[in-house]
Amino acid sequence: MAEPVTIVALGDSLTAGYGLADQSQGFVPVLEGWLKARGHDVAVQNAGVSGDTTAGGLARIGWALGPEADALIVTLGGNDLLRGLDPVASKANLEGILKEAAARQLPVLLVSMKAPGNFGPEYKAAFDGMYGELAGAYGTFLADDFFGGLRAAGADPTDPASMAAFMQADGLHPNPEGVKLIVEGLGPKVEELLKEAGS
């Protein structure tokens, strides 16, 4: 029997499954189930810590990646946004995480977050652009938007009313229906990551 491919999902509350009464409805278990239903022998490890910033992710990447890790998903930046942190610092932190993965020869899926417009166009351009720049520099897979699956279902993240059906009451974290759509949106990218990890 071959060992399953182990993917470490490094992130914040969106990865951790914050606010869900049943943790089996969180991003990591739902993603693992989606992949297994499509025939993949995979284990997805939850390395999500609620409230974590890119700096927090960088601080713990060394021990978050155990010896069994075959691939890495990075979903960080949302809390940097909530705090209005400088995108230059956020980018440097993400780069540190990608360097650690590269040193271990692990393929990576970098998942973008999108800045709201309230910090101004320069901030938004710098923040939104850093993910693509890093993916290009480090040869990682790139998912354009964590909430892409909700957009595909017709929700607009800039319009809280259109997001309400898919979000918890705080308007920041997906409910079980939202998680399912997010996984369906990101799933094909994770399959590309799996293919690379298994080769």
d(CA 37, CA 28): 14
Active-site pick, 13, 80, 90, 112: 13
Pairing of the two strands 71-75 and 141-143: unpaired
d(CA 139, CA 98): 10
- Helices within 65-108 (DSSP H only): 78-82, 87-103
> Beta-carbon neighbour count of residue 79 at 10 Å?
22
13 is annotated as an active-site residue: yes
Nearest to 54 by CA among 125, 130, 119: 130
Cα separations in angstroms, 192 against 29, 121, 179, 185: 19, 32, 20, 13
199 is annotated as an active-site residue: no
Active-site pick, 22, 159, 170, 199: 170
Residue with tokens 């960080």: 76
Residue with tokens 């949106």: 185
Active-site pick, 70, 112, 145, 173: 173
Cα separations in angstroms, 67 against 7, 9, 23, 185: 11, 15, 25, 29
144 is annotated as an active-site residue: no
Residues with a known catalytic role:
13, 170, 173
